């Protein structure tokens, strides 16, 4: 069930860029006259923060105004998303967000959230990257089968991610569900404190983006167990995929997109879309993203991004129901 559903969702990420019927958006219809705030929902050091800082400088050059990255960590990105939803739709506050705050939170929280999907203007999908299962180097496991055995024999073992309800949390829960093991989850305020506790042996495992996981694994600070995609990553060519290790069709990447508050004027939206497309196509940006294991996604218009978000929420709802995942995990 998972593999077919998720393959369709992931395929849409790349297929959207090839759609010839995408409406043309006028470039440079609006120019900011003061600095722009680029909000990030996680602490410095994680993939969302890294992407924001990578895009900020060329975006500043393209817009003609400074783009200032502002970290508002906590609640799996929901604090930032709420702040963005309450901001003026004047083009001077935008945000980078992912599935956790823009799709999953609305699925997990049956009582409702402090903001709604309609409180935002989707601008474009910006990046996608594979996730990697990494463990403390003292954990006696070097592959997925041994990790399953370790968890079955060690009921005190825990794993952590950068928040309840973020995509990495649900991806890890999906993996554990398919392995048939239950492991307590510890939620953190960002990727950096997760890694600190992983290195210190306070948690056994995390599921993290390759931009964070690969350098740690290559330095021998952690062990990479498997890549959560259908093909191996150039950053970790010797690490087999979860699909290779028996979880057939397991393909669950992380994505990041750019958003503004609802009600953003059409000329401002057009200007941001054009600017971001230009930035994401720049060879220097593409090269830096590739070095981090992240792939830029270009050509997804605001309308297509909005449809992608609707589909993504439906996919996560299927996963949450099937794996019986709740906010208490």
Mean pLDDT, to the nearest integer, of 269-281? 97
Closest CA to 213 of 200, 222, 205, 202: 222
Please indicate whether residue 112 or residue 164 has the higher confidence score (pLDDT).
164
**Which of 39, 13, 31 is CA-nearest to residue 275?**
31
**Cα torsion angle, 211, 323, 78, 74, sign:** negative
Which among 61, 57, 123 has a CA at the least distance from the CA of 91? Answer: 123
Residue 327's pLDDT is 63
Q: Do domains 36-129+253-323 and 130-245 have the same CATH topology?
A: yes
Q: Which residue has the tokens 């690969």?
A: 214
Rounded CA gap, 320 and 326, in Å? Answer: 7
Which residues face 40 on adjacent strands?
A: 71, 96
Mean pLDDT of the chain: 90
CB 276 within 8 A of CB 261: no
pLDDT tens track for 191-248: 889 999 999 999 999 999 998 899 999 999 999 999 999 999 999 999 999 999 999 9
Q: Would you list the domain boundaries of the chain?
A: 36-129+253-323, 130-245
Range with top average pLDDT, 14-28, 70-84, 97-111:
70-84
Higher-pLDDT residue of 106 and 53 is: 53
Cβ(294)–Cβ(53) under 8 Å? no
Residue 163 in this model has a pLDDT that exceeds 90: no
Per residue in 6-55, pLDDT tens?
A: 344 445 444 444 443 344 444 447 999 999 999 999 888 888 899 999 99
First and final CA of the chain: distance in angstroms?
A: 22
Closest CA to 136 of 155, 153, 164, 160: 160
pLDDT score of 126 more than 50: yes
Domain 130-245 has CATH 3.40.190.10: yes
Place of tokens 């992912």: 98
CA–CA separation, 35 vs 15, rounded Å? Answer: 34
Specify the residue for token string 């997925």: 144
Q: What is the mean pLDDT of residues 72-97?
A: 95
Position 328 scores a pLDDT of: 59
The reported pLDDT for the residue numbered 52 is: 96
Express as a percent the part of the chain with pLDDT over 90: 77
- Determine the CATH number of domain 36-129+253-323: 3.40.190.150
- Tens digit of pLDDT for each residue in 149-160? 999 999 999 999
Residue 109 confidence (pLDDT): 83
């Amino acid at each position: 069930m998972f593999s077919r559903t998720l393959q369709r969702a992931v395929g849409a990420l790349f297929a959207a860029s090839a759609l010839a019927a995408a409406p043309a958006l006028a470039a440079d219809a609006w120019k900011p006259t003061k600095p722009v705030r680029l909000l990030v929902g996680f602490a410095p050091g994680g993939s969302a923060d890294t992407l924001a800082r990578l895009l900020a400088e060329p975006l500043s050059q393209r817009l003609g105004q400074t783009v200032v990255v502002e970290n508002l960590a906590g609640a799996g990105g929901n604090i930032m998303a709420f702040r963005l939803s309450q901001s003026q739709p004047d083009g001077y506050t935008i945000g980078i967000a992912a599935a956790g705050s823009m799709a999953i939170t609305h699925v997990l929280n049956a009582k409702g959230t402090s903001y709604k999907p309609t409180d935002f203007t989707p601008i474009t999908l910006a990046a996608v990257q594979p996730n990697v299962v990494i463990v403390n180097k003292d954990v006696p496991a070097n592959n997925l089968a041994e990790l399953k055995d370790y968890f079955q024999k060690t009921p005190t073992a825990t794993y952590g991610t950068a928040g309840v309800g973020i995509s990495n949390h649900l991806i890890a829960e999906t993996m554990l569900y398919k392995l048939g093991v239950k492991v307590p989850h510890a939620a953190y305020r960002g990727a950096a404190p997760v890694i600190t506790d992983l290195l210190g042996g306070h948690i056994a495992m995390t599921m993290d983006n390759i931009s964070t996981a690969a350098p740690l694994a290559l330095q021998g600070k952690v062990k990479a167990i498997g890549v959560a995609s259908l093909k191996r990553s150039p950053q970790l060519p010797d690490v087999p995929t979860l699909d290779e290790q028996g979880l057939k069709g397991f393909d669950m990447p992380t994505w990041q997109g750019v958003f503004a508050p609802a009600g953003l004027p059409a000329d401002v939206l057009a200007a941001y879309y054009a600017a971001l497309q230009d930035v994401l196509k720049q060879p220097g940006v593409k090269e830096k993203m590739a070095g981090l294991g992240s792939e830029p996604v270009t050509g997804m218009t605001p309308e297509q991004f909005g449809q992608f978000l609707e589909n993504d929420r439906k996919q996560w709802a299927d996963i949450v129901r099937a794996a019986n995942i709740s906010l208490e995990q």
